[in-house]
């Protein structure tokens, strides 16, 4: 049985670890990070592209990135994660996403936010919580901790969740499925429920959109919310 000194040392190490991680988040963001989330096929890329075009039309210089990817190493990691020939353990899969996220955050997102840009990210931290956590069973607390570590504590100003039933998402598929898309329907049901659970814990960050609406109607909702945000942030 360890003595009291052991627990004191353990607490000191835990505090030191916490302070190290917390200090990584120190940078001044003048921009906005908007993330697009939801299960495969819900319309994230379609809407990210439309929002990007709209922002360019309005005279802004937005940056659009996707996860995993957006850097040279991140795109290579993407090939590994999505490769149908691999069968990755849940831990390896989670950490590969985190490695790609760390590269993207450090090299692309943080500098863009410091420069005052609007950054659109097609999937981000919530996808790991929903897929590897709620879908795959990985510990949510550990994922949150790793998300913080990988992103230097970046939190999106807005996360748009395109909510769609698993069956409807599968029905929209037109191309050959990759490793992540080859999971069964129950997996996607858990992921969808996971996303909705995340909304419940952080309502103010999320905009939930029914993804069965028309592409144009959804783009209208996305733009209205984005316009409010960029006006409030004085980015216009
Ligand atoms: N609102 C919509 N109604 C009907 N079909 C849509 C809608 N939005 C997108 N689609 C279509 O659904 C398919 C998937 O869309 P998209 O690629 O944008 O989804 P995604 O969320 O980015 O998927 P993934 O996670 O696999 O990258 C595409 O064929 C797209 O044209
Ligand atoms: Mg996409």
Tell me what pLDDT residue 7 has.
65
E-assigned strands of the chain? Answer: 32-37, 63-66, 118-122, 158-163, 206-210
How do 118-122 and 63-66 pair as beta strands? parallel
Q: How far is the CA of 57 from the centre of ligand 2 (A)?
A: 22
Q: How far is the CA of 39 from the centre of ligand 1 (A)?
A: 10
**Best substitution site from 38, 40, 46, 47 to test ligand 1's pocket, by max atoms within 8 Å of Cβ?**
46
Evaluate if pTM is beyond 0.85.
yes
* Pairwise pLDDT comparison (179 vs 95), residue with the higher score: 95
The model's confidence at residue 106, banded by pLDDT at 50, 70 and 90, is: very high
Q: What is the mean predicted confidence (pLDDT) over 201-221?
A: 98
Q: How far is the CA of 118 from the centre of ligand 2 (A)?
A: 19
Tell me what pLDDT residue 21 has.
44
* Alpha carbon nearest to ligand 1 atom 23, residue: 41
Does residue 137 surpass a pLDDT of 90? Answer: yes
Tell me what pLDDT residue 22 has.
46
Tell me what pLDDT residue 177 has.
77
Q: How many residues in the chain? A: 236
b/e for 131-154, b at 16 or more Cβ within 10 A?
Answer: bbbbbbebebeebeebbbbbbbbb
* Pairwise pLDDT comparison (15 vs 204), residue with the higher score: 204
Q: What is the mean predicted confidence (pLDDT) over 87-99?
A: 97
Tell me what pLDDT residue 9 has.
62
Per cent of the chain over pLDDT 90 is 78
**Best substitution site from 37, 38, 39, 45 to test ligand 1's pocket, by max atoms within 8 Å of Cβ?**
45
pLDDT digits (tens, 9 = 90+) for 111-120: 999 999 999 9
pLDDT digits (tens, 9 = 90+) for 59-83: 999 999 999 999 999 999 999 999 9
Q: How far is the CA of 158 from the centre of ligand 1 (A)?
A: 20
pLDDT digits (tens, 9 = 90+) for 16-50: 554 444 445 567 888 999 999 999 999 999 999 99
In which element (H, E) is residue 156 found?
A: none
> What is the rounded average pLDDT for all residues in the chain?
91
Contact 158, 229 (CB under 8 A): yes
Domains in the chain with CATH codes? 30-232 (3.40.50.300)
Q: What is the mean predicted confidence (pLDDT) over 127-144?
A: 98
Q: What is the mean predicted confidence (pLDDT) over 88-97?
A: 97
Protein residues with CB under 6 Å of any ligand 1 atom: 38, 40-46, 172, 174, 211, 213-215, 218
Separation of first and last alpha carbons in the chain:
62
The model's confidence at residue 176, banded by pLDDT at 50, 70 and 90, is: confident
DSSP string over 25-49: T-----SEEEEEE-STTSSHHHHHH
Residue 3 per-residue DSSP state: -
């Amino acid at each position: 049985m360890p003595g009291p000194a052991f627990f004191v040392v353990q607490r000191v190490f835990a505090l030191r670890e916490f302070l190290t991680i917390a200090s990584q988040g120190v940078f001044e963001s003048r921009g906005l990070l908007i993330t697009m989330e939801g299960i495969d096929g819900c319309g994230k890329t379609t809407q990210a592209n439309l929002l990007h075009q709209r922002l360019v039309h309005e005279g802004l210089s937005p940056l659009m990135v996707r996860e995993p990817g957006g850097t040279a190493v991140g795109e290579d990691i993407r090939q590994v994660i999505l490769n149908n020939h691999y069968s990755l353990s849940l831990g390896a899969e989670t950490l590969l996403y985190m490695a790609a996220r760390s590269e993207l955050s450090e090299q692309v997102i943080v500098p863009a936010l410091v420069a005052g840009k609007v950054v659109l990210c097609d999937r981000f931290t919530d996808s790991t919580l929903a897929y590897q956590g709620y879908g795959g069973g990985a510990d949510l607390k550990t994922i949150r901790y790793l998300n913080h570590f990988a992103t230097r504590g970046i939190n999106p100003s807005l996360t748009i969740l395109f909510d769609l039933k698993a069956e409807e998402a599968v029905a929209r598929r037109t191309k050959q499925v990759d490793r992540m898309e080859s999971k069964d329907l129950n997996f996607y049901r858990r992921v969808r429920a996971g996303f909705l659970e995340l909304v419940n814990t952080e309502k103010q960050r999320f905009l939930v959109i029914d993804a069965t609406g028309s592409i144009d109607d959804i783009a209208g909702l996305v733009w209205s919310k984005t316009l409010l945000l960029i006006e409030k942030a004085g980015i216009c």
